[in-house]
């Protein structure tokens, strides 16, 4: 899965960043909150029509998002609440980013963008929910074609494509998000059924 590959590839960089944040006295949960506030700012930038700038900021934000976990592992502060808190704010982050796209759809007077952003949000939430529900049944369910990292990459590319394609690039990217997120949710439903042997 791309997420695991990215984590392994960026491990040294994340550990270095985590060490810096530890030296200045930040905790994993504080980093989680800062990361969410950064996403709020990025969503505002996108909603105001600066899609390409939002894409650049999302690249930084995505890297920052992984640092809280690295800091928790570095300082032996991995807790159940920390994982829960991070996952919950990730869902809020998904929501505000899609809300920014809905706003762009209103500004563009593009109903397709609005509808696709809502469908993409439903898919993103269901990808997360199916994993959480499966884990509540005692299963590990990290598999999936289109997890959060993949969604973020497509969103960044879609935002950047507005420089060349205008709103069409954004609509195409959000359509990919809508379709593949929901396919991944269905994939996880089937995998859970298979693992339960039912």
Distance between CA atoms of 184 and 187, rounded to whole angstroms? 5
Could you give the CA distance from residue 117 to residue 175 in angstroms, rounded to a whole number?
Answer: 8
Tokens at residue 34, please? Answer: 């800062």
Is the entire prediction scored with pTM above 0.95? Answer: no
Say which CATH number the domain at 37 has: 1.20.120.1760
- pLDDT of 6 higher than 90: no
Sign of CA dihedral 184, 128, 89, 99: positive
Q: Each residue of 123-151: pLDDT tens digit?
A: 999 999 999 999 988 888 888 888 888 99
Q: What is the pLDDT of residue 70?
A: 84
* Residue with the two structure tokens 């999936």: 144
Q: Looking at residue 15, what is its pLDDT? A: 79
Q: What is the pLDDT of residue 41?
A: 97
What is the tens place of the pLDDT at every residue in 7-45?
Answer: 565 677 877 877 888 788 888 888 899 999 999 999 999
Residue 59 has pLDDT above 60, yes or no: yes
Cα separation values, 55 from 121, 128, 165, 185, Å: 18, 23, 15, 25
Q: How far lies 119's CA from each of 11, 55, 116, 125, in Å?
A: 33, 21, 5, 10
Structural domain for 18, as ranges:
2-196
What HEC string does the chain produce?
CHHHHHHHHCHHHHHHHHHHHHHCCCCHHHHHHHHHHHHHHHHHHHHCCCHHHHHHHHHHHHHHHCHHHHHHHHCCCCCHHHHHHHHHHHHHHHHHHHHHHHHHHHHHCCHHHHHHHHHHHHHHHHHHHHHHHHHHCCCCCCCCCCCHHHHHHHHHHHHHHHHHHCHHHHHHHHHHHHHHHHHHHHHHHHHHHHHHCC
Report how many domains make up the chain.
1
pLDDT in the model for residue 74: 82
Measure the CA angle with vertex 118, ends 117 and 119; round to 5°.
90
Whole-angstrom distance, CA of residue 97 vs CA of residue 68: 20
> Which are the catalytic amino acids?
90
């Amino acid at each position: 899965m791309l997420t695991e590959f990215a984590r392994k590839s960026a491990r040294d960089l994340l550990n270095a960043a985590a060490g810096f944040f530890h030296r200045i006295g930040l905790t994993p949960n504080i980093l989680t909150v800062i990361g969410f506030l950064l996403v709020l700012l990025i969503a505002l930038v996108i909603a105001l029509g600066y899609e390409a700038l939002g894409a650049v900021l999302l690249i930084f934000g995505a890297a920052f998002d992984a640092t809280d976990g690295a800091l928790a592992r570095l300082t032996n502060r991995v807790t159940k609440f920390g994982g829960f808190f991070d996952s919950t704010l990730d869902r809020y982050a998904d929501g505000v980013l899609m809300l920014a796209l809905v706003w762009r759809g209103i500004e563009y007077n593009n109903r397709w963008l609005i509808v696709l952003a809502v469908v993409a949000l439903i898919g993103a939430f269901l990808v997360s929910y199916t994993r959480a529900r499966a884990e509540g049944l005692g299963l590990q369910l990290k598999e999936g074609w289109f997890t959060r990292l993949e969604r973020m990459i497509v969103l960044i590319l879609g935002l950047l494509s507005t420089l060349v394609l205008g709103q069409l690039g954004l609509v195409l990217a959000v359509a990919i998000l809508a379709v593949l997120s929901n396919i991944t949710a269905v994939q996880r439903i089937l995998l859970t059924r298979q693992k339960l042997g039912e």
